[in-house]
Structure 1
Amino acid sequence: MSTDILEVARVQVLEEGRGLSAAQALRCLELPDERLGELLALAHEVRMAWCGPEVEVEGIVSLKTGGCPEDCHFCSQSGQFTSPVRSVWLDIPALVQAAVETARTGATEFCIVAAVRGPDRRLMDQVRAGVRAVQDAVEINVACSLGMLTQEQVDELAEMGVHRYNHNLETARSHFGSVVTTHTWEERWRTCEMVRAAGMELCCGGIIGMGETREQRAEFAGQLGELAPDEVPLNFLNPRPGTPFASYPLVEGREALKTIATFRLALPRTILRYAGGRELTLGDLGTREGMLGGVNAIIVGNYLTTLGRSPEEDLSLLADLKMPIKALSQAL
């Protein structure tokens, strides 16, 4: 029996559809650079076999920006740091306009985000009004990312018709205490479990490049495999001024591509989405390589506090790669 990890993955993942374990993921991450092409090619085969050629497009907008009480060390929206982001609320007409503009790109997902530990009554009322207004104005799936939830809040969001809920674990359980101290990894995990149980789709990923080891990246891939979210957004750290991670280096491009391909092999059926930081870490060429190395979803436009590529650039890339945008009827 072969001990080469890519030959093992070809049988286990490509043929049988079983994701790599954490230990197996580590072996992929440790492959020499000269085998990166093989790794990316296999990840692309897995994506095509288990997910197909379509790419899911999403836009995001912040309903409440800044002033968050938590101390996530990567985040410029924390009220505990000296970063320049200040607390701002978006009104409902502006939210609807953002949803309309997102739908014009061909996106099927529109995510409403708030920088909070968890939603209070005021925020839940704002979200309810926003979800209703967006649903009345445009045909698009509405997702939310509002921090940690109670069971009652989970049930209320499901009742509103929220299609998908984003709540990132951010990093491996063993590394979480080096990234956040004001809440625990387990608290995040509990919210994710409640979302799944309520029937909403779960979006759960994290950020690569926050000082974690390769072993911890592999651990994180295994933990996501256990959780089995519908979508995994992969962000690469974009160090923000005023945060504890402001001086962290960018993830090297080849390392980022190895991570993308490895996460695809650990999560063969999952929507694997390019998210924040890809523009800096990978640039145009690397973005293309990642789309041919397991990625099958993208966020178009800007992120919450950082600039992304223009939607036109991303949509042109998908056209060049002959990757069709997933239609709304397929996403429902």
Structure 2
Amino acid sequence: MDILTVARDQVLDRGEGLTAEQALECLRLPDERLPELLALAHEVRVKWCGPEVEVEGIVSIKTGGCPEDCHFCSQSGTFDSPVRAAWLDIPSLVKAAEETARTGATEFCIVAAVRGPDRRLMDQVRQGVKAINDAVEINIACSLGMLTQAQVDELAEMGVHRYNHNLETARSHFPNVVTTHTWEERWETCLMVREAGMELCCGGIVGMGESVEQRAEFAGQLGELAPDEVPLNFLNPRPGTPFANYPLVEGADALRTIATYRLALPRTILRYAGGRELTLGDLGTRDGMLGGINAIIVGNYLTTLGRPASADLDLLTDLKMPIKALSKTL
């Protein structure tokens, strides 16, 4: 039976996500069927998640100098990258949160380029969370690398709303992307976060040399993990990294991936993240918002430029998509 006919019954009508094998069928659909795929993904998004969009801003509290060798990342201290180590002070962190809230965003994520947080970083995050909560009403998320159980419990006690820890890619492809830690170590942190009661944000990057079969594999693995949010990044090749000369993902492939992941994860917050500006541009960004996306990062990313926040907010207004804090639907 045709995969989109199957998906309409299984995903749209019953809310059951595609398997990895079914996702692969969607990822192999020809370009002429892409509008049909996107339209179905949009129907699924509206039915199972609603019409609203969650808007988030991110800021780096500790930039550069990371000891890990993630081949896509210019913050790795193992590569000859132009990014240098730097720390953000608490007043600057609060200012960034206030600026994010003024855009209408409901989520603000504190990010650090580390393998995992040491005592200094945990103390600074605690001070930052308190200072932000005292200054502005916004949900606070963190992305601080791999955690111990004690650190998970401490972040939950601080009131951190959501924790981001990306698996990055399919388990079978991960050794080609990172060698200084394992996919399984990341998976364990994700499980601890979810079990501690924080919302789990876990996604990855498309375009790091993975096969279409591995993109489908990754969709299935995310389905098994069942995070509250999945950020989809598209590789923006960074100077000095091993992936510096990788080609950009083709726009049609990016949209096919977005729609397929929506069908694999019908109840999950699916967020536009890094690289969409280069891969999709303005028109493709609109197509993705009508093809399954229901969350977006506004402004700049950690070491790369994004679209102006006003451009994304104007797009949401034009599409009549209200902004709202979201959680995964049950």
TM range (shorter): over 0.9
1:7 corresponds in structure 2 to 5
Q: How does 1:230-269 map to 2 (within 5 A)?
A: 230-269=228-267
**Matching residue within 139, 156, 173 for 1:141:** 139
Matches within 5 A, 1:182-221: 182-221=180-219
Aligned-partner Cα distance in 2 for 1:82–1:327: 39
Question: 1:163-174, aligned counterparts within 5 Å?
Answer: 163-174=161-172
* Runs of at least 5 residues in structure 1 that lack an aligned partner in the other structure: none
Superposed CA offset, 1:66-111 (max 9, x none) = 0000000000000000010000000000000000000001101000
Q: Where do residues 25-36 of structure 1 align in structure 2 (5 Å cutoff)?
A: 25-36=23-34
What do the CA deviations read for 1:213-267 (whole angstroms, capped 9, x no partner)? 0000000000000000000000000000000000000000000000000000000
Shift of 1:153: 0.1
CA contact (8 A) 1:140 1:328 kept: no
State the partner residue of 1:127. 125
Q: Distance in 2 between matches of 1:130 and 1:143?
A: 11
Which stretches of structure 1, 4 residues or more, deviate above 4 A after TM superposition? 327-331
2:82 is paired with a residue of what secondary structure? coil
What is aligned with 1:63?
A: 61
1:46 aligns with 44
| Residues paired across the two proteins, number | 329
1:329 Cα deviation after fit: 11
Cα distance in 2 for partners of 1:11, 1:123 equals: 48
Aligned partner of 1:153 in structure 2 is 151
The normalised TM-score by structure 1 is 0.98
Q: TM-score with structure 2 length normalisation?
A: 0.99
Q: Secondary structure at the match of 2:141?
A: strand
Give the secondary structure class of the aligned counterpart of 2:285.
helix
Give the structure 2 partner of residue 314 of structure 1: 312
Distance 1:167 1:52, change over 3 A: same
Give the match for residue 326 of structure 1.
324
Conserved in 2, the CA contact under 8 Å of 1:76 and 1:83?
yes
- What's the counterpart of residue 270 of structure 1? 268
Partners of 1:160 and 1:245 lie apart in 2 by 37
- Find out whether 1:83 has 2:81 as its counterpart: yes
Tell me how far apart the structure 2 counterparts of residues 77 and 249 of structure 1 sit (CA, whole Å): 20
Which of these residues, 295, 298, 307, is aligned with residue 293 of structure 2? 295
TM-fit CA distance, 1:330: 11
Q: Percent same amino acid among aligned pairs?
A: 85
Verify the 8 A CA contact 1:13 1:268 in the aligned structure 2: yes
Other-structure match for 1:176: 174
Q: CA deviation at 1:311?
A: 0.5
- Which secondary structure state, in structure 2, belongs to the residue aligned with residue 173 of structure 1? coil
SS at 2:94's partner residue? helix
Q: 2:172 aligns to what SS in structure 1?
A: helix
CA contact (8 A) 2:267 2:328 kept: no
Task: Tell me the SS of whatever aligns to 1:174.
Answer: coil
Kindly indicate whether the alpha-carbon contact (under 8 Å) linking 2:269 and 2:328 is maintained by their aligned counterparts in 1. Answer: no
Question: Do the aligned residues in 2 keep the contact of 1:143 with 1:162 (CA within 8 Å)?
Answer: yes
